[in-house]
Structures are given as structure tokens and as C-alpha cells.
Amino acid sequence: MDWQSWLIGIVGRALAFGTPLLWGTLGEIYAERAGVVNLGVEGMMVLGAFSAFAVAQSTGHPGLGILVAALVGGGAALIHAFLTVTLRANQYVSGLALTMFGLGLAGLLGRGWEGIPLKQPLPSVTVPGLSKIPLLGPMLFEDQSILTYIGLVLAVVLWLLLYRTRWGIVLRSVGESPATADALGVNVFLVRYLAVILGGVLAGVAGGYLSVEYRPSWTEGMTAGMGWIVIALTIFAGWDPLQAIWGSLFFGALYHLSYRLQAWLPPELLKLMPYAFAILVLAIAGLSGRRRGAPGALGVPYTRGEK
């Protein structure tokens, strides 16, 4: 096998596997930018994955499955928002509860759907014209999911929104210093609700992508800790949507390599690679003193006008 097909394979598959990571990370970045950590990404993703599969399988419309996954993810995030924003509960514990609940519920409901191949997966696209470019064409524009491209565009849009619009300033100020934002007339609670729900919607789509596109079937625990990689990526990306693209690609490549290198290393050891790298990458970020961009009020419930 020559180096070109290797490179094409790795970049192409890194994009495909990086897609759910990208969607999830973009969502978590927005939630955390508003000051709310949501450790329930894994739970929201797995609920999205199951509901997308169930809807796609019974209606025959994979797109509808993705839509429902988004709604389910948003609904799950609403629980987290209510507990942490309104009731000011501990964000870590609420997120963990959401993950346990999501994994449990998806496993419970998904019993009868286990291991059936999806009749009608989301079709993959090959961009006409662009796919003819040597090397870059087959790498980036052949046999990719439409959700991969939407995800990349979304990253740019969310970046512009965050840094170039008034809305972005409002969102960042809520995560940085909610009291100041409140004094300036911003509805801190509303902004936090919306950001957390957006995070859930994107995590739901990420899960849906897995079950109706990447691996068109449903198996319990098919998210396999990706939700936690997303949390690590959020920090690694410095809460910046554009950086999230590179992070997701890197981890997408790691996941792909863990299959590709099986001729040389035991598969079980390769599978632990992404998780070990997640720790390594955060340690490096810590070593270089980069806690760049951590929102000032991250993880702190906001209490209005109480001393």
C-alpha cells in the first residue's frame, strides 16, 4: 500500500470519525461559554443515537431520525439546565446523573433494536468536481457525510457568532461575569438555558450521526466514551469553535488508527489510545500553562442579588 492511499484513508476517516466529536464539542463549548459544564454529553449522545436509529428504522427517513435526535438531545439538556440554572444544583453531579440516566434509558429501550442493520442509512455524498482534485479530492470530498460538511460550516458560524456579534458578547459575558451581565440588563438565566439546550441539540445530532450514518445500526454503549472525549476536547480547544475542528480531526485520526494499526499491535491496546491521548493532551496544555479562554464563572451557579 502506497503512502498516498494511506494518507487519503487516514484524513478521510479522521473526518468521518471526527464529525460526532466536532458536533459534540461545539455544543459543549457553547454551554461552557455560558458558564455551565455539562458532563452529560455521553448520555445525551447515546439517547440521540438510539432515538435517531429507532425513528430512521421505523419511518425509513434517516433525516427525520437526525431531527428527532436533536430534539431528544435538547430535551435531555433541558433537565440539566433546570437542575443547574434554576435549582442551582452541582453541575458535575447533575451531568453525571444525566449520563447514567441516558445510558440506562437507551440500553433499556434499545433492547429489541440491538444489532439490526439500518434499512436506509443517511446517504454519503461525493462533491462533484472537487472530488476530482488529485489527493485532496478523494481525501476531503469523496464518500463523506453531509453532516461532516454541515459540522465544519457550523464551527465557522459559531465562531463568528461568538467573536463577531453582539450575541457572542452577551454569551461570553454571562460565562465570564454573570453579575456584570445581569447589571447590564442581560437575562442570565435565559442565556444559560439556551446555551445548554443548544449543547444538547448538537450532542443529540452527534449521537444520531453514529447510528444512522457512521455505523448504521444500534448497539448498546455505541458511544464508547466519546462524550468524555468531547469534554476533554472542549478544554483542549480553548473553548474556541475553530480550534475544535483540529482537535476533532486529531482524535478522529486516533480512532481510525486504532483500527488501522491492528496488524502490528493488539487491538485492545490500540483502543485505549484516544483515552490516553486525551490525558496526555490536557497534560501538555497544562504544562504550557494554557488554560486559555476558560470562562471565568465556569461551574458556578448564578444567584441573583443575594449576598
Partner 1 sequence: MRRVGPFILERRRAPSRAVVIGVSVLAVLAALLIMAIIFAGYGVNPWHAYATIGKSTLGSRYGLMEILRRTIPLLLCGVGLVIAFRAQFWNIGAEGQLLAGAVAATGVALYSGIPGPWLLPAMFGAGFLAGAVWGIIPAFLKVKLRVNDVITTLMMNYIMIYIVDWLIHGPWKGPTMRGFAYTDIFPKAAWLPTLPLSRVHWPTLVIGVAAAILAALILNRTRLGYEIRVVGESEGAARYAGINFLRVSLAVMILSGGLAGLAGVGEVAGIHHRLLSPTQVSMGYGYTAIIVAWLARGSPGVAIVTSLFFGLIFAAGDVIKTVLRMPFQVTGVFNGLILFFLIGVEPLMYWRVRLLPKGERWTGKAGSSGS
Which residues sit at the interface with partner 1, rule CB under 8 A? 39, 43, 79, 83, 87-90, 92-94, 96-105, 107-108, 111, 220, 225, 228, 231-232, 235, 266, 268-269, 271-272, 275-276, 278-279, 282-283, 285-287, 291
Interacting residues of 144 by C-beta distance below 8 A, sequence separation 6+: 12, 15, 16, 124, 125, 126
Between 148 and 258, CB nearer to partner 1: 258
User: What are the two backbone dihedrals, phi and then psi, of residue 218, each rounded to the nearest 5 degrees?
Assistant: -120, 125
Question: Least distance (Å) from partner 1 to the CB of residue 22?
Answer: 18
Between 108 and 133, CB nearer to partner 1: 108
> What angle do helix axes 241-260 and 146-164 make, rounded to 10 degrees?
150
Question: Least distance (Å) from partner 1 to the CB of residue 167?
Answer: 28
Question: Least distance (Å) from partner 1 to the CB of residue 89?
Answer: 4
Between 95 and 121, CB nearer to partner 1: 95
User: What are the two backbone dihedrals, phi and then psi, of residue 117, each rounded to the nearest 5 degrees?
Assistant: -70, 145
Between 89 and 146, CB nearer to partner 1: 89
> What angle do helix axes 241-260 and 273-287 make, rounded to 10 degrees?
140
Between 182 and 220, CB nearer to partner 1: 220
C-alpha cell at 99: 449520563
Question: Least distance (Å) from partner 1 to the CB of residue 57?
Answer: 19
Interacting residues of 199 by C-beta distance below 8 A, sequence separation 6+: 27, 28, 30, 31, 38, 41, 77
Cα-Cα-Cα-Cα torsion 189, 194, 199, 200, nearest 10 degrees, comes to: 100
Question: Least distance (Å) from partner 1 to the CB of residue 265?
Answer: 10
- Write the secondary structure of 126-179 as one string of H (helix), E (strand) and C (coil): CCCCHHHCCCHHHHHCCCECHHHHHHHHHHHHHHHHHHHCHHHHHHHHHHHCHH
Between 156 and 269, CB nearer to partner 1: 269
* Cα 18 from Cα 41, distance rounded (Å): 16
User: What are the two backbone dihedrals, phi and then psi, of residue 125, each rounded to the nearest 5 degrees?
Assistant: -115, 145
SS3 call for 217: strand
Between 38 and 145, CB nearer to partner 1: 38
Question: Least distance (Å) from partner 1 to the CB of residue 86?
Answer: 9
Between 170 and 298, CB nearer to partner 1: 298
Question: Least distance (Å) from partner 1 to the CB of residue 228?
Answer: 5
Question: Least distance (Å) from partner 1 to the CB of residue 28?
Answer: 12
C-alpha cell at 116: 439490526
